[in-house]
């Protein structure tokens, strides 16, 4: 789709090549001039007055026919190109979008200030799923003024699936007074050899980030591969194994049933990757829709589920170098039931919004029907006008 002036756009701009057919009526107008008829008259005085008037009338009729024929071919090209216009109205004034959590915590003075600034007609209450509804409003209605979002600073007010904050939004975030959901508790035992300690350090950084930005409390115990004792993992939810695979296989039978194991392949010697980072969720492009599927291979060994990463943590194409690796790691460690709860009380960082409105394709209404009506009217008028001349001359 190609935008034109104002709210108009073309669905198939390539069809405008049909405008080359405009040369047809122009060429006809230039080269198809009638030589006229020779008429013998007794005296030219009888037609001297009518001559200039008749010539002017014929010339105007020819120009009008040319215009109608050009219009017909232009309308045909626009129909083929799919001319359309924006189907939604524009919001010219500043708009405010309010979450229910903010409205519940706001004082009467804050609500009155909001109403004084925007008015009831420019204030909108978002309902769950809040982020999805906000994105729908931004992509379906054109906003010419500023867009203000009033919300709490807890991720649970938005939901787990967030989009990119590429719009120039003005955020008004206030802190939650109470935690809505108890923190998720995870007990993790990390087993690593000395040579794989850099990988262990990166994993610890990722887990620390998740603790800071998510509703998760992690109890982490680190062990060397030589000192690992399967009998001491009764209260462990996960074992992250960065040691010899043969040692792990020898211990699997002694692990408590249902223990989850995350096995990472060994990286090449000297490999390194940037430290794991976490974008200011929920204002990142990350969307947890089967995000870990490409990274894992699941097998059952000794009655326990072993999750094997398909790529090393460090080195070329390393998983840990992805900006959203902490999120991917958390997706692996949490069950589906706990997946959404991890966002509930996570503090929201003030987002970095875009400077300009993105190129959004707003809903379009095709104008094909109106163009066809105009085409028929122009064609009927052109036929009538072109046949009128011969009838009058006859």
Helices (H), 82-196: 100-105, 108-118, 130-140
What does the pLDDT read at residue 142?
80
1 and 10 in contact (C-beta within 8 Å)?
yes
Give the mean pLDDT of 270-277.
Answer: 62
Supply φ then ψ for residue 150, to 5 degrees. -105, 115
Dist. CA 310–CA 332, nearest whole Å: 13
What does the pLDDT read at residue 293?
54
Question: 349: which DSSP letter?
Answer: P
264 and 313 in contact (C-beta within 8 Å)?
yes
3-state secondary structure of 365: strand
Supply φ then ψ for residue 344, to 5 degrees. -55, -55
What does the block give as tokens for 125?
């209450």
Average pLDDT, the chain: 75
Predicted confidence (pLDDT) at residue 247 exceeds the cutoff of 70: yes
Helices (H), 42-83: 48-81
Q: What is the pTM of this model?
A: 0.49
Give the mean pLDDT of 49-57.
Answer: 61
Give the mean pLDDT of 276-294.
Answer: 49
Confidence of residue 316 (pLDDT cuts 50, 70, 90): low
Predicted confidence (pLDDT) at residue 295 exceeds the cutoff of 70: no
What does the block give as tokens for 272?
């390194």
- Name, in order, each residue with C-beta under 8 angstroms of 186's C-beta and a sequence gap of 6 or more: 216, 217, 218, 219, 237, 238, 333, 334
Closest by Cα among 24, 22, 29, 2 to 13 = 2
- Name, in order, each residue with C-beta under 8 angstroms of 344's C-beta and a sequence gap of 6 or more: 154, 155, 156, 179, 180, 181, 215
- Name, in order, each residue with C-beta under 8 angstroms of 300's C-beta and a sequence gap of 6 or more: 306
Confidence of residue 141 (pLDDT cuts 50, 70, 90): confident
Predicted confidence (pLDDT) at residue 219 exceeds the cutoff of 60: yes
- Alpha carbon 182 to its chain centroid, in Å, reads 32
Confidence of residue 116 (pLDDT cuts 50, 70, 90): very high
Predicted confidence (pLDDT) at residue 210 exceeds the cutoff of 70: yes
SS percent in the chain: helix, strand, coil, step 5: 45, 20, 35
What does the pLDDT read at residue 38?
65
User: End-to-end alpha-carbon separation of the chain, Å?
Assistant: 51
Q: Which of 3-12, 103-112, 273-282, 366-375 has the lowest mean pLDDT?
A: 273-282
What does the pLDDT read at residue 56?
73
What does the pLDDT read at residue 117?
94
354 and 165 in contact (C-beta within 8 Å)?
yes
Predicted confidence (pLDDT) at residue 334 exceeds the cutoff of 90: no
Q: Which of the listed ranges 25-39, 86-100, 323-337 does the model predict with the highest average pLDDT?
A: 86-100
Closest by Cα among 380, 392, 393, 385 to 66 = 385
Question: 88: which DSSP letter?
Answer: S
pLDDT, greater one: 106 or 363: 106
Class of domain 184-343: alpha beta
Closest by Cα among 77, 60, 59, 61 to 23 = 77
Closest by Cα among 240, 231, 105 to 177 = 105
The overall longest dimension of the chain from CA atoms, in Å, is: 130
Q: Which of the listed ranges 2-6, 10-14, 150-154 does the model predict with the highest average pLDDT?
A: 150-154
- CA angle (336, 283, 183) in 5-degree steps: 40
pLDDT digits (tens, 9 = 90+) for 152-202: 877 666 655 555 556 778 888 887 655 556 778 889 999 899 888 888 888
pLDDT digits (tens, 9 = 90+) for 144-157: 888 999 988 776 66
Q: Which of the listed ranges 117-131, 286-300, 316-330, 350-364 does the model predict with the highest average pLDDT?
A: 117-131
What does the pLDDT read at residue 287?
45
3-state secondary structure of 336: helix
Confidence of residue 53 (pLDDT cuts 50, 70, 90): low
What does the pLDDT read at residue 125?
93
218 and 378 in contact (C-beta within 8 Å)?
no
pLDDT digits (tens, 9 = 90+) for 345-362: 566 655 555 555 556 666
Give the mean pLDDT of 230-247.
Answer: 84
Give the mean pLDDT of 364-387.
Answer: 86
Would you kindly state where each structural domain of the chain is located, as residue ranges? 2-33+51-87+363-393, 90-174, 184-343
């Amino acid at each position: 789709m190609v935008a034109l002036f104002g709210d108009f756009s073309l669905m198939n701009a390539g069809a405008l090549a049909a405008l080359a057919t405009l040369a047809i009526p122009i060429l006809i107008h230039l080269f198809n001039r009638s030589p006229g008829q020779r008429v013998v008259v007794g005296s030219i005085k009888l037609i001297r007055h009518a001559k200039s008037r008749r010539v002017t009338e014929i010339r105007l009729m020819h120009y009008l026919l040319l215009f109608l024929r050009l219009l017909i071919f232009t309308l045909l090209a626009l129909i083929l190109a799919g001319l359309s216009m924006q189907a939604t109205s524009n919001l010219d004034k500043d708009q405010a979008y309010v979450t229910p959590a903010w409205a519940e915590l706001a004082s009467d003075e804050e609500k009155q200030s909001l109403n004084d600034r925007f008015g009831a007609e420019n204030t909108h209450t978002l309902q769950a799923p809040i982020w999805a509804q906000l994105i729908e409003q931004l992509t379906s209605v054109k906003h010419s003024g500023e867009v203000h979002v009033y919300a709490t600073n807890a991720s649970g007010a938005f939901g787990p699936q967030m989009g990119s904050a590429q719009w120039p939004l003005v955020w008004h975030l206030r802190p939650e007074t109470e935690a809505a959901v108890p923190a998720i508790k995870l007990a993790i035992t990390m087993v690593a050899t000395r040579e794989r300690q850099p990988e262990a350090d990166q994993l610890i950084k990722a887990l620390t980030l998740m603790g800071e930005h998510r509703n998760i409390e992690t109890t982490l115990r680190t062990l060397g591969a030589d000192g690992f004792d399967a009998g001491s993992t009764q209260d462990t939810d996960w074992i992250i194994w960065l040691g010899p695979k043969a040692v792990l296989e020898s211990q699997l039978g002694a692990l408590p049933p249902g223990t989850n194991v995350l096995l990472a392949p060994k990286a090449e010697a000297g490999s390194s990757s940037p430290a794991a980072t976490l974008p200011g969720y929920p204002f990142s492009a990350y969307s947890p829709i089967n995000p870990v599927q490409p990274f894992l291979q699941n097998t059952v060994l000794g009655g326990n589920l072993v999750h094997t990463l398909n790529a090393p943590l460090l080195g070329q194409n390393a998983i840990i170098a992805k900006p959203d690796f902490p999120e991917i790691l958390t997706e692996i460690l949490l069950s589906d039931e706990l997946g959404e709860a991890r966002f509930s009380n996570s503090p929201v960082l003030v987002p970095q919004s875009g400077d300009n409105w993105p190129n959004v394709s707003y809903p379009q209404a095709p104008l094909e029907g109106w163009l066809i009506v105009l085409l028929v009217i122009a064609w009927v008028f052109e036929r009538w006008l072109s046949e009128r001349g011969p009838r009058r001359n006859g």
